[in-house]
Structure 1
């Protein structure tokens, strides 16, 4: 198993994997329709997108986390 201190890398990997897969499929279908070689077109688009998406998520995630933390209202716990 992977050590918990690497969770941010695992999350970034799967976020990039799934988002690039879904988005490349949708964009490919919108651009070329569904021709006979659609799966090859999609695979090429997905692989290209994933290569960019994974390091991008690693870089952008801390920024997004800081922005989100500033936007989320803190709730005080009263006991």
Structure 2
């Protein structure tokens, strides 16, 4: 039995990519920062999730603003592939 899961139209890539990137990156960074500050203490997971939520609220809008700038810098720095 196969499931046909529909894909979003390509026009949503500009939102989906920073959304997913902000989720994964803020989770990793918040986890490392929380672990470093607390160690393996009781309540680590709860504190990590709380920190992650705040981090993501900053990370996602930041990526929406910064990503176009980064793409322009990369385009100016990296040679275009041959056609």
Please report the TM-score for the alignment, with normalisation by the length of structure 1.
0.91
- Are 2:53 and 1:18 equivalent residues in the alignment? no
Higher RCO (C-alpha 8 Å, min separation 6): 1
For these two proteins, the number of residue pairs brought into alignment is 77
1:73 paired residue among 58, 73, 79? 79
The equivalent residue for 1:35 is 41
In the alignment, which residue of structure 2 is the partner of 1:54?
60
Please tell me the root mean square deviation across aligned C-alpha atoms, in Å.
1.1
Name structure 1 gaps, 5 residues minimum: none
d(CA) in 2 for partners of 1:38 and 1:47?
A: 14
Instruction: Note closer, same or farther for the CA distance 1:4–1:76 as it changes in structure 2 (3 Å cut).
Output: closer
Q: Does 1:64 align with 2:78?
A: no
* 4+ long deviations beyond 4 Å: none
* Pairwise CA distance, 1:26: 0.3
Determine the C-alpha separation between the residues in 2 that align with 1:62 and 1:69: 11
